[in-house]
Amino acid sequence: MSIDWTSSHAPALAGEIAVPGDKSISHRAIMLAALAEGCSRIDGFLEGEDTRATARIFADLGVRIETPNASRRIVHGVGLHGLRGAARPLDCGNSGTCMRLLCGVLAGQAFDSTLVGDESLSRRPMRRVTEPLAAMGARIDSGEGGVPPLRIAGGHRLRGIDYITPVASAQVKSAVLLAGLQADGETEVREAHPTRDYTERMLAAFGWPIAFEPGRARLAGGHRLRATDVVVPADFSSAAFFLVAASIVPGSRLLLRAVGLNPRRTGLLQALRLMGADIREHAPRELGGEPVADLEVRHARLRGIDVPVELVPDMIDEFPALFVAAAVADGITRVRGAAELRVKESDRIAVMAAGLRRLGIPVEETPDGASITGGRLAGGEVDSAGDHRIAMSFAVAGAVAAGPVRIGDCANVATSFPGFVDLARAIGMAVAEG
Ligand code: S3P
């Protein structure tokens, strides 16, 4: 079902809010808890369609998962070899993380599996995981051009690999490491640009011996995962929309509670500060082994920057929001080294550029980025291309645009941020369905 939004001019934004749990951590928590021996409790689980798809798939694979209340799961782990094959294809919905990490989990199992996804996921590149897994001995067939559906043939013995990732991708790294759990010998992954290390941290928390540092992780097969409880911090990527919104709406002051600040996720914080944003961290602490803090953000005048290329992997999901900040900043913001944006839930460079142009902002596209000349956003109609982060970014744009911004195809916001509209309204944004 298609849902459109209209986002209109907002007065100063104000309030104290908590955004939902981290998507990356929620996926991994279900997966590792399912593969562990014993019963694990997950608190702060993201009730999004993506992470629910992962939970549903493990239920299909024979894992008992209870939901005593929202944002909590009790997972009765079956051990590394306790999954059983599902009779039907496993539906990953819109979620690249679900599909790519599952490839790693299922490549070494005794049974066959088929992974399918929605229209967007069915266009996304999977060779980046099927190739290294094939080098480990897995047998995975894909659709033409290396896209889903993926058919994983069970019963193939895996061997460890020393793999240098050709793209900065935590999903690829994680798929290889998860396959490495069931492989003979050592598996090592090296990356030129370090990516989020949640899989490594969580494997250690579940008792699997692993050595890791930024850009490198190494483990050996033949151990066991032991159940443990996981506390999921608030998702920085969801907080990002409100960080930008309060930065650009005059007179705003917001407090975002207990936001996850893993250094591999917070590139946007650095980029916004380089642009002149006023964002302060209060009460830094640890939650579930992750650094968190309350973020206080106030309106500030922003200026365009050349986004440092070394920040790109640390803010890869935040570019749609950054593009909106750039659209109202003084001067030009240049992004490069971000070709990966073209293979996300949509081609985020093309879709953001098209939308911003419709709102009167000059944007020049390059193969790996864009130049955005800040100005005055006009009202108008834009298409999110079914991409959750683009829908939410244009909702933020509407708060400062001269007229209402009508955003097409917003239903997929439920994949990562159910309740976005209610929270946005609670702080004073004027977002309405229809
Ligand atoms: C994710 C890794 C990133 C990110 C995605 C979540 C993860 O994807 O964009 O939203 O949980 O590992 P890539 O691995 O494709 O960079």
E-strand stretches of 192-289: 210-213, 216-220, 230-231, 253-260, 278-287
Atom 9 of ligand 1, residue of closest alpha carbon: 317
Does 23 show up as a binding residue in the annotation? yes
Fold of 5-21+233-433: UDP-n-acetylglucosamine1-carboxyvinyl-transferase; Chain (3.65.10)
Nearest to 190 by CA among 223, 158, 212, 210: 212
pLDDT in tens, 367-380: 999 999 999 999 99
pLDDT of residue 381: 98
Band of pLDDT at residue 434, cut at 50, 70 and 90: confident
What spacing in Å lies between the alpha carbon of 196 and ligand 1's midpoint? 8
Q: Is the pLDDT of residue 248 over 90?
A: yes
Closest atom of ligand 1 to CA, residue 196: 12
Q: For residues 332 and 272, what is the distance between their CA atoms, to the nearest angstrom?
A: 14
Q: CATH 3.65.10.10 spans which residues of the chain?
A: 5-21+233-433, 23-230
Region 282-289: mean pLDDT is 94
Mean pLDDT across the chain, nearest whole number? 98
* CA 389-324-233 angle, 5° bins: 45
Q: Give dist(CA 75, CA 52) in Å, integer.
A: 13
**Strand pairing report for 405-408 and 5-8:** antiparallel
Helix (H, G, I), strand (E, B) or coil at 93: coil
Please report which confidence band the pLDDT of residue 277 belongs to, taking 50, 70 and 90 as the band edges. Answer: very high
Strand order in the sheet with 278-287: 14-17, 253-260, 290-298, 278-287
Residue 171 CB–ligand 1 contact under 6 Å:
yes
Q: Compute, in angstroms, the gap from residue 79 CA to the centroid of ligand 1.
A: 26
Which residue matches tokens 């750039």? 326
- The pLDDT, as a whole number, for residue 153 is 98
395-432 core/surface letters (b: 16 or more CB in 10 A; e: else): bbbbbbbeebbbbbbbebbbbbbbebbebbeebbbbbe
Q: What is the pTM (predicted TM-score) of this model?
A: 0.98
Say yes or no to pLDDT of 40 above 90.
Answer: yes
pLDDT of residue 394: 98
Residue 1 confidence (pLDDT) above 90: no
Mutate to test the pocket of ligand 1, among 169, 314, 347 (most ligand atoms within 8 A of CB): 169
Looking at domain 23-230, what is its CATH homologous superfamily?
A: Enolpyruvate transferase domain (3.65.10.10)
Query: Model confidence over 58-90: pLDDT tens digits?
Result: 999 999 999 999 999 999 999 999 999 999 999
Give the model confidence (pLDDT) of 411-429 as tens digits: 999 999 999 999 999 999 9
User: Looking at the predicted structure, is the pLDDT value of residue 3 above 90?
Assistant: yes
Helical pair 319-328 and 267-274, crossing angle rounded to 10 deg: 10
Q: How far apart are CA 324 and CA 394, in angstroms?
A: 7
